[in-house]
Amino acid sequence: MECLKVRQTGSLFHTGIKVKGRVSVLNVLFLIKSVQRHFIIAILTLLVCVGGAYLINVFVQPQYQASASLMANIAQANESGTYNELLASQMLTKTYEDTIQSRSVAGEVKKKLSLNESPTLLLRKIKVRTDPGTLVINLYATDRDPQSAVSIVNAFADAFISKSKGIVSSAKVTVLDYADMDQASEPVSPKKMFNLALGILIGLFAALSLCLLLESRRLSRRRSGMKGSKMEKSA
């Protein structure tokens, strides 16, 4: 009896696998037939999505980014306590991160570059990042003009170094790298290849979904028509 139950269970398991396999094959065949029947609509949907991504790449104003890096550390009074000084310097970089993004530093940049933007608008173009465990402060400026991005981020670096002398007298901030045109020559947005790839994926998904929807409606109408004709014949 136990052997018979095992065989029955095994046969049911294999039958279930076959049924699932047939269902998946039928779904794929239905999808292929739907695309074949509504091929023009599928192509038009794909072209619309890809065309939208292309228009975004063409008409969206390019944005350029320039970066500068600073190093902050506390001057050693003696050779002992190096580890504590390192920890203090790392904590100080977080304070400096907030200071760089202050309106007072942005005001100095505005005066130095004779810009029309307000300090608040200038701060929207600036991003500051400090990596944990390091003494390096990275500054990023984004602008429609690459030369402006370079000038702004370098001006922020210089203005902050001047301000930092009054924050902690024993601390020292030095410039590791100034921004230049070589790094800011390529736009960071829009990401053209990413937008096109995303447009293709969305277009394929939308085209397949639309084909399935249209084919399902066509079949439902066909069934309704067949039922109506049968009722008329029976009457």
Q: Is residue 154 part of a domain?
A: yes
Q: What is the pLDDT of residue 227?
A: 64
CATH code of 94's domain? 3.30.70.1130
Q: Is residue 231 part of a domain?
A: no
Q: What is the pLDDT of residue 128?
A: 93
Note whether 112 and 180 are same-domain residues.
Answer: yes
Q: How high is the mean pLDDT of the chain?
A: 81
Q: What is the pLDDT of residue 111?
A: 93
Q: 208-235: per-residue pLDDT in tens?
A: 999 989 888 888 887 776 665 666 566 5
CB 123 within 8 A of CB 139: no
How many domains does the chain contain in total? Answer: 2
Separation of CA 227 from chain center: 52
Q: Is residue 171 part of a domain?
A: yes
Note whether 173 and 196 are same-domain residues.
Answer: no
Closest CA to 38 of 204, 211, 202, 213: 211
Q: What is the pLDDT of residue 12?
A: 45
| Domain range for 36 | 2-59+190-214
Note whether 107 and 152 are same-domain residues.
Answer: yes
Note whether 89 and 160 are same-domain residues.
Answer: yes
Task: Burial-class residue 38 by CB neighbours within 10 Å (0-12, 13-18, 19+).
Answer: buried
Q: Is residue 221 part of a domain?
A: no
Q: Is residue 84 part of a domain?
A: yes
Q: What is the pLDDT of residue 155?
A: 95
Residue numbers of the chain with a pLDDT score lower than 50: 2-10, 12-14, 17, 19, 80
Note whether 32 and 82 are same-domain residues.
Answer: no
Q: Is residue 119 part of a domain?
A: yes
Q: Is residue 227 part of a domain?
A: no
Note whether 159 and 82 are same-domain residues.
Answer: yes
Note whether 178 and 202 are same-domain residues.
Answer: no
Note whether 25 and 134 are same-domain residues.
Answer: no
